[in-house]
Structure 1
């Protein structure tokens, strides 16, 4: 039989008896070294990260939907008929004409009987900003 050491003796061929320099306890009365249950920690981490990704995705989706809505309104206004050069900061109204085509006007919806679609203001980036308001307003009542 080989020369073996008992299990409670810390010995290596390279370093000899080195129990006193090890970073963990080696005697029989020392607390047991247990591996932690990492599955629960990983599950919590995965759940937390997935929730964060879901929230970020929903934010991006809302931002995308808002951007697409702005694009569609701008497309509608820029494809409407108008025979004047719009002034930045001025308020305009989009209508549907009797021929079914859209047209842009300075005349407010309370001043005539046309099918009013929406009210817009042209900003300095040449983007039409849709004005959300009740049907009763005049040019002086609109506050940006």
Structure 2
């Protein structure tokens, strides 16, 4: 609120009021032009950012396509290597011709290591008795009550 609004005697007559109104409108016009220019600058910055984002998106999409192609190539290569490994390590020798001189490659029964189920081993008497060990004592007899 200006001083002329507070003191009515200082207000001009008709022609002075028109000059004041014109000055007021020019100030408002300048203010609106400044806002418009700032908005235009802001829009230009946003358009530039949008163009950069679209460029980055295009590059990312190209990279995704390239990586998917590389993944497909690597998958094919891994499958080929696995097939080659399986063919290389396949056991194709009949059991009667197999070399079991290596200790880690011993044959199972009836020639080498005795492989039986627990029931068969128990029936053959190959299992030793169970020994129960506790803090109160040990017993070779599973039916023996623990010491108290």
Q: Tell whether the structures are fold-level matches, with TM greater than 0.5.
A: no
Larger helix share, 1 or 2: 2
Higher relative contact order structure (alpha carbons within 8 Å, sequence separation ≥ 6): 1
Calculate the TM-score normalised by the size of structure 2.
0.34
Larger Rg: 2
Larger strand share, 1 or 2: 1
